[in-house]
Amino acid sequence: MAIGLAAITWGLSAIPAAGFQDKTVLAALGVGSAFLTSFIVIEAHLHKQAMMPLSLYRSRNFAATNALTLLLYFALGGALYYLPFGLIRLGSYSATQAGAALLPSALIMGFGSLFAGTIADRLGARLLLTVGPIAASCGLAMLAFIDLRQSYWVGVFPSMLLLGAGMAITVPPLTSTVMGAAGKSHAGIASGVNNAVARVAGLLAVAALGAVFSDAFSHHLTGTTPAQAIEALNFVMSGRRGANAEAIAAFERALHAIMLVPASCAALAGLAGWIWIEPDSIRASN
């Protein structure tokens, strides 16, 4: 599984420089897909000794929560990876300031999670697993339209509040639902699988959005070859002085464009929560 994920991640990361039709890229994606398929086939035949029992996915809630996790953490990982580059280049933040700009979302996630579990017990997981991702989606969508040069408190701060609130609402019922769906005998495995899905989602987000970001940047930077566009993008993202105005403008447009991808993924996560999570799942288990 690790080899498969590594190959797919490398293949996605290499697309901006080599192109999707490059033989090495296609080979990496093919090898990765083959290894992951082999992993699933082997797990299906191991039954009781399986590291990830596929029988867990027969549970509607287990499958739904992991799909929701994949979408939501893809959104979170991708957006929070690329946002600091925009703050540094466009907002003239230092690296420390760019990191600190994300703190409100983390703080709200921490404090809000203390109360979300109690609310889920009263209202059921389905409602929170719909409202939470949609709130996070709204926060991420704001990043696609705000000017990062304006005051932090007017632009980035409100989006971090929404993102943090959405995640705080989502995480406790998500954890409870995925573990409850597996039963006590498989609760540890279910928790491990869900955490692995979250980590893999963030990894894939950085690789996949890198390809999208590079393509969007090249589209807005006219009169350059793909290699020149990649070189210009790397220079802009390094934060060094001397980048020309056209490259910076292309960077800003590309950043705004890719922020719509995480926002869409978070919205899809909310939709998945509403459609697939069984109503009152947590209250029923209590």
Residue 87's pLDDT is what?
A: 95
Amino acid at 19: G
pLDDT average, residue stretch 228-239: 85
pLDDT of 284 higher than 50: no
- The DSSP code for 58 is G
pLDDT band at 265 (very low <50, low <70, confident <90, very high): very high
Could you count the other beta carbons within 10 Å of the beta carbon of residue 72? 30
**DSSP state string for 63-114:** HHHHHHHHHHHHHHHHHHHHHHHHHHHTS---HHHHHHTTHHHHHHHHHHHH
SS3 36: helix
pLDDT of 19 higher than 80: no
Residue 138's pLDDT is what?
A: 98
Q: Return the percentage of the chain with pLDDT > 70, whole number.
A: 96
Tell me the pLDDT tens digit for each residue of 21-50: 888 988 999 999 999 899 888 877 776 677
Q: Is 203 or 18 the better-scoring residue by pLDDT?
A: 203
Residue 147's pLDDT is what?
A: 94
pLDDT average, residue stretch 48-63: 81
Residue 280's pLDDT is what?
A: 66
What's domain 59-285's superfamily in CATH? MFS general substrate transporter like domains (1.20.1250.20)
Q: How far apart are CA 169 and CA 165, in angstroms?
A: 6
The answer to whether the CB of 200 falls within 8 A of the CB of 4 is: no
pLDDT of 285 higher than 60: no
pLDDT average, residue stretch 161-190: 90
Which range is least confidently modeled, 66-80, 101-115, 124-138, 174-188? 174-188
The structure tokens 């994949």 sit at: 70
Which range is least confidently modeled, 81-90, 217-226, 254-263? 217-226
pLDDT average, residue stretch 133-141: 97
pLDDT of 12 higher than 90: no
Distances (CA, A) of 228 to 36, 223, 234: 35, 9, 10
Tell me the pLDDT tens digit for each residue of 100-132: 999 999 999 989 888 887 888 888 889 999 999
pLDDT average, residue stretch 218-231: 83
The answer to whether the CB of 110 falls within 8 A of the CB of 103 is: no
Nearest of 164, 170, 161, 177 to residue 130 by alpha carbon: 170
pLDDT average, residue stretch 175-197: 87
Q: How far apart are CA 243 and CA 235, in angstroms?
A: 7
- The DSSP code for 278 is P
pLDDT of 286 higher than 60: no
Domain extents in the chain:
1-51, 59-285
pLDDT band at 151 (very low <50, low <70, confident <90, very high): very high
Residue 11's pLDDT is what?
A: 87
Buried b (16+ CB within 10 A) or exposed e, 4-34: bbebbbbbbbbbbbbeeeeeebeebbebbee
Distances (CA, A) of 112 to 124, 237, 252: 17, 33, 32
Mean pLDDT of the chain: 89
Buried b (16+ CB within 10 A) or exposed e, 115-140: ebeeebbeebbbbbbbbbbbbbbbbb
Buried b (16+ CB within 10 A) or exposed e, 245-260: eebeebbbebbbbbbe
